[in-house]
């Protein structure tokens, strides 16, 4: 048994199998259970080491060759696998409550496997192709068979696809830079190509217009899943470039660029969130701001920047999951999600509304909630390097907070006097409650993430050292 077989091939096989099933609950249990088991194995069973259980000896090899390419998942990748599949389990168990289990779980498993493969593949440039495959697999996830593709889906596909040639071309140029490091023109060209590739891949301003459009066109839960997984893996892919090329990670220009783009994402996402009049679009702009936080964390010159990057991942995943689930519940029950039609929904759907507001506050870094500890550390880190950046950071946070407060006001301001009710189904109540508890737990005790995060920086040989 090899690690790539277990964490790449197996999810693809299970995902393909669940495509044949018709019951939401069965699919949710199989998909969520598989993800949970895979996360558990990554947590317990060491890679490349024999594990003795009585007379039995179990060893998971780190390398496998698939279609002539090497896929390597070394022991240092195990914590990342725990997080990815653990979060997937959360998303998949919640998919039934959101009413999208039949589409999300099969395709979600395949997309996850492809993105894990993008981390494992050697030569690492093939990652761009695997990410592109994952993007193409995402199209049927976003688009039910009876629905015509909207502008958001098309732009998503176009922009993500455009990233691939730039990245491949950058990889080719970077090989040249390695050979002749003094060639300034080549260095500039390769940096430009790499930058353009990631501008498309991470949906940097203003290439993120597909995100709000997609949120309106497709299931919020399915889009939320992609908005969590794609930027996370794309960022790790980007970090592998920084780790590999010393001139890139030590370049003040690159770090300044990361910081500038991070701020642009945070401020534009925050500002636009403050003025949205639709609940789905608000979530879209918040997700955009989340990417800004990731880029800002990477731009820090301190040794803790990598710790900070990984500290952002779990709260981000949980926050988006809770937000997307709550939004799906409200959309399913209420239909339209414009502010005008969402007025007073908190009286009928208090748990979904509370989850929505808490997830939004968490993203804005409100204390007690999951997003607070990483944002606090990030803000302090930025302030330590530049007070101006810290002030702009505040502007972005204020935008997000304004969006959250506006949403709260809309949800609680009923048009006429109505009594409180609890109209969510039992499964929705259960999943939303788990999510809300999780938001508070991570906000009060961020150290509980430590066992999963402490060895993650070892994934990179040079970065953060």
Partner 1 sequence: MLILISILLLFVTALALLVLRITRPEFRFAWLAALSGTVLAWLTVLLWQTQLPSSITLPAWQPASLFAASPGLSADGLAWPYAFALATLAAAILLTSSVREDFPNPLVWAVEISVCGIGLMAVTAANPLTLALVWAALDLLELVVMLRASKDSGTSERAVIAFSTRAAGIILLLLANAIGAAAGKPVDFSSAPPQAGLLLLAAAGLRLGVLPLHLPYRSESSLRRGLETMLRLTAAASSLILLARIPTASLESPVTPLLLILSAVAAVYGGWMWMRAPDELTGLPYWMIGLASLATASALFGNPTGTASWGIALILSGGALFVSSLQQTWLNRALWIGAWALSSLPLSLTAAGWQNNTSGWGFFLPLFLTAQAFIMAGFVRHAMRPSTRAPLSTQPVWAKMVYPAGIGLLLLIQFILGFAGWDGAFAIGAIPAAIAASLLTLGLLWAAPRFPFLNPVRAHWIQPTVTSRLDQFYQNLWVFYRWLGRLTQSISNVLEGDGGIMWTLLFLIFFVLLITQRKP
**Interaction site with partner 1 (CB under 8 A):** 151, 155, 184, 187-188, 191-192, 195-196, 199, 206-207, 209, 212-213, 247-248, 251, 253-254, 257, 271-272, 275, 303-304, 307-308, 311, 343-344, 346, 365-369, 373, 376-377, 379-384, 387, 390, 394, 397-398, 401, 405, 408-409, 412-415, 417, 420, 444-447, 450, 453-454
256: its two tokens: 């300044």
Say what the alpha-carbon torsion angle 35, 37, 41, 42 is, to the nearest 10 degrees.
20
Q: Cα(348)–Cα(36) distance, rounded to whole angstroms?
A: 33
Written as six digits, the tokens of 218 are: 């497709």
Residue 445 Cβ vs partner 1, minimum distance, rounded to whole Å: 7
State the nearest-atom distance from the C-beta of 367 to partner 1, in Å. 4
Our CA angle for 253, 311, 201, nearest 5°, is 50
Nearer to partner 1, 107 or 193 (CB): 193
Coil, strand or helix at 60? strand
Nearer to partner 1, 29 or 168 (CB): 168
Concatenated DSSP letters of 142-165: HS-TTS---HHHHHHHHHHHHHHH
In the complex, least distance from residue 184 CB atom to partner 1, rounded to whole angstroms: 7
Give the nearer residue to partner 1 in terms of CB position, either 248 or 325: 248
Nearer to partner 1, 151 or 462 (CB): 151
The Cα–Cα gap between 45 and 345 comes to 46
Distance of closest approach, residue 209 Cβ to partner 1, in angstroms = 5
Provide the minimum distance between the beta carbon of 277 and partner 1 in the complex, in angstroms, as a whole number: 8
Residue 87 CA from chain centroid, whole number = 10
> What's the CA gap between 235 and 463, in Å, rounded?
13
Q: Provide the minimum distance between the beta carbon of 62 and partner 1 in the complex, in angstroms, as a whole number.
A: 26
**Nearest 5°: phi and psi at 304?**
-85, 5
- Whole-number minimum distance, CB 266 to partner 1, in Å? 15
Q: Which is nearer to partner 1, 315 or 381 (CB)?
A: 381
Residue closer to partner 1 (CB basis): 431 or 456:
456
63-66 and 56-59: which strand pairing? unpaired
Number of C-alpha atoms within 13 angstroms, CB side, residue 301? 12
Nearer to partner 1, 96 or 307 (CB): 307
């Amino acid at each position: 048994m090899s690690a790539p077989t277990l964490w790449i091939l197996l999810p693809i096989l299970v995902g393909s199998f669940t495509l044949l099933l018709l019951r939401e609950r069965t699919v949710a249990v199989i998909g969520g259970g598989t993800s949970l088991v895979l996360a558990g194995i990554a947590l317990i069973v060491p890679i490349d080491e024999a594990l003795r259980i009585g007379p039995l000896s179990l060893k998971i090899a780190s390398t496998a060759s698939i279609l002539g390419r090497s896929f390597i998942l070394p022991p240092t990748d195990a914590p990342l696998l725990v997080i990815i599949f653990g979060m997937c389990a959360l998303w998949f168990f919640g998919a039934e409550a959101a009413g999208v289990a039949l589409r999300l779980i099969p395709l979600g498993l395949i997309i996850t496997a492809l993105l894990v493969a993008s981390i494992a593949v050697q030569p690492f440039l093939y990652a761009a192709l695997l990410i592109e495959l994952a993007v193409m697999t995402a199209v049927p996830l976003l688009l039910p068979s009876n629905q015509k593709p909207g502008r958001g889906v098309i732009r998503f596909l176009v922009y993500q696809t455009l990233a691939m040639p730039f990245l491949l071309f950058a990889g080719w140029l970077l090989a040249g830079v390695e050979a002749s490091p003094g060639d300034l023109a080549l260095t500039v060209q390769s940096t430009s190509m790499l930058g353009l590739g990631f501008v498309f891949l991470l949906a940097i301003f203003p290439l993120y217009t597909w995100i709000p459009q997609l949120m309106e066109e497709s299931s919020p839960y399915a889009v939320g899943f992609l908005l969590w997984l794609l930027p996370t893996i794309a960022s790790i892919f980007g970090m592998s470039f920084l780790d590999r090329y010393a001139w890139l990670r030590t370049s003040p220009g690159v770090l300044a660029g990361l910081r500038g783009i991070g701020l642009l994402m945070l401020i534009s996402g925050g500002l636009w969130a403050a003025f949205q009049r639709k609940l789905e679009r608000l979530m879209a702009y918040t997700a955009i701001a989340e990417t800004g936080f990731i880029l800002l964390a990477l731009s820090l010159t301190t040794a803790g920047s990598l710790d900070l990057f990984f500290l952002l991942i779990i709260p981000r995943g949980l926050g988006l999951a809770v937000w997307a689930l709550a939004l799906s519940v409200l959309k399913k029950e209420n239909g339209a999600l414009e502010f005008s039609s969402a007025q007073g929904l908190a009286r009928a759907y208090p748990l979904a509304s509370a989850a929505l507001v808490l997830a939004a506050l968490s993203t804005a870094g409100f204390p007690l909630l999951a997003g607070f500890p990483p944002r606090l550390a990030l803000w302090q880190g930025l302030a330590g390097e530049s007070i101006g950046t810290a002030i702009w950071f505040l502007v972005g946070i204020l935008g997000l907070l304004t969006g959250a407060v506006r949403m709260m006001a809309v949800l609680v301001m009923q048009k006429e006097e109505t009594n409180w009710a609890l109209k969510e189904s039992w499964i929705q109540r259960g999943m939303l409650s788990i999510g809300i508890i999780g938001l508070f737990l991570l906000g009060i005790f961020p150290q509980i993430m430590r066992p999963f995060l402490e060895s993650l920086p070892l994934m990179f040989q040079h970065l953060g050292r």
